[in-house]
Homo-oligomer: A and B are copies of this chain.
Amino acid sequence: MARVLMLAFEGMQPLDFIAPYDLFHSAGVETLVVSENAKTQVDKRLGIAADASLSDAPEADAILVPGGHGIGSCLAHDATLEFLAHCKVQWYTSICTGSLLLAAAGLLRGYRATSHWRYVDLLALAGATPVKGKRIVIDRNRMTGGGVTAGIDFGLHLVAHLCGEDQARLAQLALEYAPVPPYAGSPEEALSETTHAYRERSAVRYAELEHALDEALLRFRG
């Protein structure tokens, strides 16, 4: 049975985590939640119990790092970066801004990778090649997904790699993933005023993440 370690932290985006979590379970992939604490308070209501701490995570086929506003704090947390830098798995993977954490741990230097469209440029700070306009980027054993909802597409790709395409096809049908998005989900296709509004709304967060990644890269040497 394939096994995936899933990093959990306060302030992670719930959907980044839950979309692949449900897909993995549907496909019979074992998930193990890894976190600094025995229980992570994701937001004011959602809590998730850990199966392992950062220092005792078992062997697995993959590690998955979700994104979310809590990524800023993770970038300042050497124990999390240490865990990732020394994690021995076949696949190093992320959803959304989780790729910034993989990058800070030195895992994307020299790799093509993606992130949430708003933050993907920041990967270049860590020596990665940012890829825009792709839902999933696979470069050797790094698999990075785009923003938030990319976790569904991502989960299906990882299931296909770990368990075969038949399991991935079955999981997609089980979760009835036949999307009919009413509007546009990428900056290329969205109305220019929508893209502009989101850029404005996220400008402070962009600057914060840029600073946090810079600091992590100066401080952390694995």
Where the two chains meet, the residues of A that have a C-beta atom closer than 8 Å to any C-beta of B are: 13-15, 18-19, 21-22, 33, 44-51, 96, 116-117, 135-136, 146-150, 152-153, 156-157, 160, 165-166, 168-170, 172-187, 189-191, 194-195, 197-198, 201
Contact = CB atoms under 8 A, between A and B. Distances in A.
Contacts of A170: 194, 197-198, 201
A175 B169 contact: no
Contacts of A13: 22
Nearest to A165: B183
Given A156-B183, A183-B169, A194-B169, A148 B175 contact: yes
A179 B148 CA distance: 11
Nearest to A147: B176
Contact of A178 (B15, B33, B48, B189): B189
A149 B172 CA distance: 9
Contacts of A185: 172-173, 175-179
A167 B49 CA distance: 33
Contacts of A189: 178
Contact of A179 (B44, B175, B179): B179
24 contacts: A15-B18, A15-B175, A45-B51, A46-B46, A135-B178, A135-B179, A147-B176, A148-B174, A149-B177, A149-B179, A152-B181, A153-B181, A153-B182, A157-B182, A165-B183, A169-B191, A170-B197, A170-B201, A172-B183, A172-B185, A173-B198, A177-B185, A178-B184, A178-B189
